Amino acid sequence: MTRVSPSKPGRDCPLCPRLVAFREEWRAREPSWHNAPVPSFGDADARLLIVGLAPGLRGANRTGRPFTGDYAGDLLYGTLQTYGFARGQFAARPDDGLTLVDARITNAVRCVPPENKPTTAEIATCRQFLSATIAEMPNLRAIVALGRIAHDSVLRALGLKLSAAPFRHGARAQTEPAALFSSYHCSRYNTNTGVLTEAMFHAVFAAVRAEIDSAKEAPTRAAKA
Ligand code: URA
């Protein structure tokens, strides 16, 4: 039997029947792929958590590491390196040696959804893992939500109403236990259509860097407890 930890669904997580069926289909088609819930990447003691939407079919669902193997990852990891949240060589493979620095990446939905579109019920069901992921990070200072779905799911995971912090690119909301920064998702679609430029994305992480650096001397949640 697969063990389910509060923050990490087991490989055969049965909670969303449509996603299970899609996973089974891709296990049969591509047996060498990961084809399972994609675990968070990075240490739980990080001060920054980045929340994406869901694994891309040929990206994280293939490689097993968030944002690894698709265009969205090129922009995300490049930006993280620019702002000191990642080091090493990003080569779009989980064994490329890239490490996150004081940062962790997860997804609002851990399994790949058909056409990259999780249903409202799937997002709500998977939120238990997002909530547990946030709860197990004692030093958390900032959360970056990539896209409206991630943003709304983070708010709900924090026990807040969506009206507490409406989604807007570049917004920062004072939430507990960490400030919530919102960005358009770094998908190829958003960058190709000009909804999100590299400069817009960098501006979000520059603000996050400043937030985390300014918090250097303040006591952490772990120290306060
Ligand atoms: N890859 C992920 O892991 N998450 C996304 O939101 C997009 C691509």
- Given a cut of 60, whether residue 218 has pLDDT beyond it is no
- Does any ligand 1 atom lie closer than 6 A to the CB of residue 139? no
DSSP string, 63-111: HSSTT-SSHHHHHHHHHHHHTTSEES---SSTTS--EESSEEEEESS-S
Distance from Cα 35 to the centre of ligand 1, integer Å: 14
Task: Ligand 1 pocket test: pick from 70, 71, 80, 186 the residue with the most ligand atoms within 8 Å of its Cβ.
Answer: 70
Average pLDDT, stretch 55-77? 97
Q: CA torsion 89→113→62→40, rounded to 10°?
A: 50
Structural domain harbouring 148 = 40-215
Find the 51 Cα to ligand 1 centroid distance in Å: 9
Beta carbon of 105 within 6 Å of any ligand 1 atom = no
Which run of H or of E encompasses 118? Answer: none
Query: What is the count of structural domains for the chain?
Result: 1
Q: Span 71-97, mean pLDDT? A: 95
> Is 222 among the domain residues?
no
| Banded model confidence at residue 5, pLDDT cuts 50, 70, 90 | confident
55 CB near ligand 1 (under 6 Å): yes
Per-residue pLDDT tens digits for 109-126: 999 999 999 999 999 999
112 in any annotated domain: yes
Band of the pLDDT at 220, cuts 50, 70, 90? Answer: low
Q: Where are the alpha helices (DSSP H) in the chain?
A: 17-29, 60-63, 71-82, 120-135, 148-157, 188-192, 198-214, 221-224
> What are the structure tokens assigned to 205, written together?
């992480």
- The yes-or-no verdict on residue 1 having pLDDT over 50 is no
59 lines ligand 1 (CB under 6 A): yes
Cβ(37) – ligand 1 distance below 6 Å: no
Asked if residue 184 has its Cβ within 6 Å of ligand 1, the reply is no
Residue 211 maps to a domain: yes
Q: Which of 107, 115, 116, 130 to mutate to test the pocket of ligand 1 (most atoms within 8 A of CB)?
A: 107
Asked whether residue 30 is assigned to any structural domain, the reply reads no
Are 109 and 118 a contacting pair, CB within 8 Å?
yes
In single-letter form, the type of residue at position 195 comes to V
Q: Is residue 23 part of a domain?
A: no
Say how far apart CA 38 and CA 3 lie, in whole Å. 15
pLDDT of residue 224: 52
The predicted-structure confidence for 8-55, as pLDDT tens digits, reads as follows: 999 999 999 999 999 999 999 999 999 999 999 999 999 999 999 999
Task: Report the share of the chain in percent with pLDDT over 70.
Answer: 94
Q: What is the pLDDT of residues 92-110, one digit of tens each?
A: 899 999 999 999 999 999 9
The CATH number of residue 152's host domain is 3.40.470.10
Question: Is 70 close to ligand 1, i.e. is its CB under 6 Å away?
Answer: yes
> Does residue 32 sit within a domain?
no
The more confident residue out of 1 and 189 is 189
∠ CA(111), CA(116), CA(118), 5° rounding? 60
Q: Is residue 220 part of a domain?
A: no
Distance (angstroms) between ligand 1 centre and the Cα of 116 equals 9
With a 6 Å cutoff on the Cβ, whether 150 touches ligand 1 is: no
Q: Is residue 176 part of a domain?
A: yes
Q: Whose CA is nearest to atom 1 of ligand 1?
A: 67
Q: Is the pLDDT of residue 3 over 60?
A: no
Decide: 53 in ligand 1 pocket, CB within 6 A.
Answer: yes
